[in-house]
Chains A and B, each alone.
Chain A
Amino acid sequence: EAGVAQSPRYKIIEKRQSVAFWCNPISGHATLYWYQQILGQGPKLLIQFQNNGVVDDSQLPKDRFSAERLKGVDSTLKIQPAKLEDSAVYLCASSVPGADTQYFGPGTRLTVL
């Protein structure tokens, strides 16, 4: 079974630029999560989707971050404009609805200069 796929793996941008990350969950996993993990901290949930609906986006900085999950499969997370403090690893995870086990992708390491 293929795992959660993410791209790109690394991204370096200047502050005020925009960036987008892509995630493809495990086949059949209707629940998708985006996390931000700053160095030395645990993952912080940004947004949770079930199919293509948002379940929780209470910690998503909506003035600069947006996410969508068209057709209930792939998802993109966008940052516009980026700030220095957005430097982090962005992790995508997926799970079967109602199940607690989350499977994480390899992450995208973002550096904002």
Chain B
Amino acid sequence: QKEVEQNSGPLSVPEGAIASLNCTYSDRGSQSFFWYRQYSGKSPELIMSIYSNGDKEDGRFTAQLNKASQYVSLLIRDSQPSDSATYLCAASLTGGFKTIFGAGTRLFVKA
């Protein structure tokens, strides 16, 4: 059974701090990795995708991928209360095939 594992949290950080979210995956054939944000009662929205080892930065967000360790992470710098949500990690084979989501990590950013 292919899996994506995340710590369910909640992860609580003060406003302005760095939030670090982690994820591991079991399928070594996975080629594409994603972080989605899901507010309560809403549908997931993509915030980052990463395909190769290393770091990828987009604004306050940095995704990190280590395929040897089967590990993906998301750093949120200067966390804001509006970042409070559940963050879903997902992995797929090429082209969005066989997408598997983790259960998500709940993040609370305290003002």
Binding site for B on A (CB under 8 A): 31, 33, 35, 40-45, 48, 55-56, 91, 95, 97-107
B103 adjacent to chain A (CB < 8 Å): yes
What 16 additional pairs, Cβ within 8 angstroms, besides A56-B98, A100-B34?
A33-B99, A35-B101, A41-B103, A41-B104, A42-B88, A42-B90, A42-B101, A42-B104, A48-B96, A56-B97, A91-B44, A95-B96, A100-B92, A104-B44, A105-B43, A106-B43
Binding site for A on B (CB under 8 A): 4, 32, 34, 42-46, 49, 88, 90, 92, 95-104
Count of CB-CB pairs between chains A and B under 8 Å: 54
A-B contact pairs, 29 of them (CB 8 A): A33-B96, A40-B103, A41-B103, A42-B90, A42-B101, A42-B102, A44-B101, A45-B98, A45-B99, A45-B100, A56-B97, A91-B44, A95-B96, A97-B95, A98-B95, A99-B95, A99-B96, A100-B32, A100-B34, A100-B49, A101-B46, A101-B49, A102-B46, A102-B96, A102-B99, A103-B46, A104-B43, A104-B45, A106-B43
